């Protein structure tokens, strides 16, 4: 179970949740960048060995059709084409001896590749 502490209204905006651990890591990365105008963009694009690939990156743009939700000071943006693929997805950050990095738990994914970077 992930630690999300979100309201129903927040989840309904674009369906993506950000755990506290992920939010804290994004804040740390943004502090390193020294910029306050960046948002975390989450998108789904064609590619990868399973057909679709996740993209997470910092973006200063807010494009037509984007949906944004603030998670304790971290603004997460999803474009309207990616929303159906990401509805209900939870982004977490792991930093253990066996795992490090952002993970996406997506209930819409019917399957994924062995590396976990793409899904269908």
Q: Tell me if 41 is assigned to some domain.
A: yes
In the predicted model, is pLDDT for residue 16 greater than 70?
yes
**Residue numbers of the domain that contains 19:** 8-119
Taking a C-beta distance cutoff of 8 angstroms, is the pair 47, 53 a contact? Answer: yes
In the predicted model, is pLDDT for residue 120 greater than 60?
no
Mean pLDDT, the chain, as a whole number?
81
pLDDT at 115: 53
pLDDT at 40: 95
Q: Tell me if 2 is assigned to some domain.
A: no
In the predicted model, is pLDDT for residue 66 greater than 70?
yes
Encode burial over 70-82: b for 16+ CB neighbours within 10 A, e otherwise. Answer: ebeebbbbbbeeb
Task: Domain count for the chain, please give it.
Answer: 1
Task: List the end-to-end C-alpha distance of the chain, in Å, as a whole number.
Answer: 23
Q: Tell me if 3 is assigned to some domain.
A: no
pLDDT at 39: 94
**The whole model's pTM is what?**
0.77
Question: pLDDT by residue (tens digit) across 33-55?
Answer: 998 899 999 998 887 666 788 89
Which residue from 40, 59, 55, 32 is spatially nearest to 104, judged by alpha carbons? 55
pLDDT at 56: 93
CATH number of the domain encompassing residue 96: 2.60.300.12
Q: Tell me if 1 is assigned to some domain.
A: no
Q: Tell me if 59 is assigned to some domain.
A: yes
Q: Tell me if 28 is assigned to some domain.
A: yes
* Residue that the structure tokens 């502090």 belong to: 31
């Amino acid at each position: 179970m992930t630690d999300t502490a979100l309201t129903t209204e927040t989840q309904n905006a674009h369906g993506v949740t950000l755990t506290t651990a992920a939010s804290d890591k994004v804040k740390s990365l943004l502090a390193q960048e020294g910029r306050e105008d960046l948002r975390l963009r989450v998108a789904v694009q064609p590619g990868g060995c399973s057909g679709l690939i996740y993209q997470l990156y910092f973006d200063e743009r807010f494009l037509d059709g984007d949906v944004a939700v603030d998670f304790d000071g971290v603004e997460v943006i999803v474009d309207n084409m990616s929303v159906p693929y990401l509805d209900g997805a939870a982004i977490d950050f792991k930093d253990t001896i066996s795992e490090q990095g952002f993970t996406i738990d997506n209930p819409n994914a019917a399957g994924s590749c062995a590396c976990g970077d793409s899904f269908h």
